[in-house]
Structure 1
């Protein structure tokens, strides 16, 4: 791919999904930096290397504030914000406060909620109930234990071992809290990448496909890769992110 002028290289903020951390973007972040971009990979409170902060009080608003604070304290402007899976809940809520700092937002097999929806609403009642059961069985009633990498579609033994050695528990509250206003996320230029086969519910995919047909500033792409595509298909993910940044 041809290199873009330095002035056209916006920073990237790569936001992980549930039970993951900034670590999951290692390969993609390295590739983007090699293309001349500044890359931030924040880890949400209570997850990843911040697992020692895990507590029942951590909710979706905590994670929204984590992302907002990253933009504010790092003085991030004109960024490409990339959200994976549950990270879409966080990014959508944060956009009410950081949209002016975001060039475009990319949802990598991620949730794009409407105002007032929770992660449970996005995944449906059966899976939401399953998360509650997991918390009751192995999480003291308030956190969801890590899932094996196979749940994310990962079959390569090395990739699976790497993921399983790093995933951490997720506060159940973050999956149950309703998100605040997401109006700015829905009106902002962006891209949705469906990983096939996706772990997202059909209704969630249908709404973003409908948006794509009605919104010329919103692209819809399909990537034949696992849900954890940033680990299993980093080159393909990097290519899509560079396109989203305008580096075609």
Structure 2
């Protein structure tokens, strides 16, 4: 695979993760000649010192829009993982004309007026609220053991556990505004199989239903964290997505 295009990649991490999660994929994309950005959303990862109850979905949408504006990005392949689909869907209202293609990696793709809690269902939402009440002072969701996301390698689980951080529950409760740009834009859905996260089944069903109409549909034999467990395979799919228009 040799880069012959000016496209660049913006890789958006999932909940309680950070830009660090994309390290292996970003290094591979850079080696192929692509400019690659891995922003960390406010309050997470190396920005955990900013964690506060007021951080909501709009904060994370603005984080992403800011990357486009301050880096003067265009012809972007915008990649969302898991929760990252929420800020990506919101940011698309502002940066759609700078985006070549959107890739949803086992990611949520909300309709206007939906929150993460709406998408994951009452049972999982209630569980996360109990986690916040019990161990998050009522306003943040604490970290989970990395095995929750399907990781099994002991060293990898330990490394991810050392990197994940708490996340304000407001980001999960906030309902998103218009998302029509995300739904109408050229894109690719990558479904992890088996993902081991039943809460994502709604997103998968939407991907399958829309794959013939709007999105290219791909699968990868990996858990919910393919950027960590299968970076070579995921990188290949991301590069292919450049031309999925």
TM-score bracket for this pair, using the shorter chain length = over 0.9
2:50 maps to what in 1? 53
Q: Report if aligned partners of 1:16, 1:22 keep a CA contact under 8 Å in 2.
A: yes
Aligned to 2:92: 95
Per-residue CA shift, 1:51-90, capped at 9, x if unaligned? Answer: 0000000000000000000100000101000000000011
Q: Corresponding residue for 1:203?
A: 202
Deviation at 1:204, TM superposition (A): 2.3
Unaligned runs of 5+ in 1: none
Q: Distance in 2 between matches of 1:168 and 1:204?
A: 24
User: Is 1:124–1:201's contact at 8 Å kept on the other side of the alignment?
Assistant: no
* TM-fit CA distance, 1:201: 3.3
- Report the counterpart of residue 239 of structure 1 in structure 2: 236
1:197 partner SS: coil
Alignment of 1:118-133 (within 5 A): 118-133=115-130
- TM-score of the superposition, structure 1-length normalised? 0.95
What's the CA shift string for 1:138-176, capped at 9, x where partnerless? Answer: 000000001111000000112111100000001000000
Alignment of 1:39-118 (within 5 A): 39-118=36-115
Partner of 2:221: 224
The alpha carbon displacement at 1:214 in A equals 2.2
Residue 214 of structure 1 aligns to a residue in which SS? coil
Cα deviation for residue 4 of structure 1 reads 3.3
SS of structure 1 residue aligned to 2:216? strand
* 1:38 counterpart = 2:35: yes
1-structure distance, mates of 2:126, 2:220: 29
Cα distance in 1 between the residues matched to 2:47 and 2:130: 24
The answer (yes or no) to whether the contact 1:88–1:110 under 8 Å persists in 2 is yes
Structure 2 matches for 1:160-199, cutoff 5 A? 160-198=157-195, 199=197
Q: Any idea what the Cα deviations from partners look like across 1:74-117, whole Å, max 9, x if unmatched? A: 00101000000000011001100010010000000000000110
Structure 2 gaps of 5+ residues are none
**CA distance in structure 2 between the aligned counterparts of 1:246 and 1:212, rounded to whole angstroms:** 16
Q: Once superposed, which parts of structure 1, at least 4 consecutive aligned residues long, lie more than 2 Å away? A: 200-204
Rounded to whole Å, the distance in 2 between the matches of 1:207 and 1:35 is 32
Counterpart of 2:149 in structure 1 is 152
Q: Distance in 2 between the 1:171 and 1:214 partners?
A: 35
Give the Å deviation of 1:203: 2.5
Cα distance in 2 for residues equivalent to 1:146 and 1:202: 22
Equivalent residues of 1:9, 1:36 under 8 A apart = no
